[in-house]
Amino acid sequence: MHAIGGIEEVTLFGPGEGCTVYTNPKVQASIGSNTFVVSGPSAERTMEEMLPAMLGSLPPEALAALAAHFKAGAGGGGGGVGGAGGAGGADDDEDVPELEEITGDE
């Protein structure tokens, strides 16, 4: 294991809605064996707590792309974009090829 310096924060996202955040952690790695060790003080956070910090760290072009994604109705879940999402759904079906039956006789 080799120490990796200069890391200010590590965020580990789990299967639930929360995450574990390590501030100024000690990080060690063995790249060849795909093994990383993160140790130090940590705190459990919810996605609602993390979202402002994550959005604040994105570059302007990434924020613009994210906004365009949701304006196009790809955000799902309704809101004010239901009409745009509904119209886009019919067009999406035209791009899907029809399934063909495969039998063992061929």
pLDDT recorded at residue 38 = 95
Question: In the chain, where are the structural domains located?
Answer: 2-73
Question: Residue 37 to residues 12, 30, 40, 86: CA-CA distances in angstroms?
Answer: 12, 9, 10, 46
Lowest pLDDT segment from 14-28, 41-55, 73-87: 73-87
pLDDT recorded at residue 92 = 58
Distance (Å, rounded) from C-alpha 26 to C-alpha 4?
8
User: May I ask the CATH class of domain 2-73?
Assistant: mainly beta
- Between CA 43 and CA 49, with CA 44 as vertex, the angle to 5 degrees is 105
Distance (Å, rounded) from C-alpha 75 to C-alpha 62?
15
Q: Is the pLDDT of residue 34 over 90?
A: yes
Residue type at 71 in one-letter notation: K
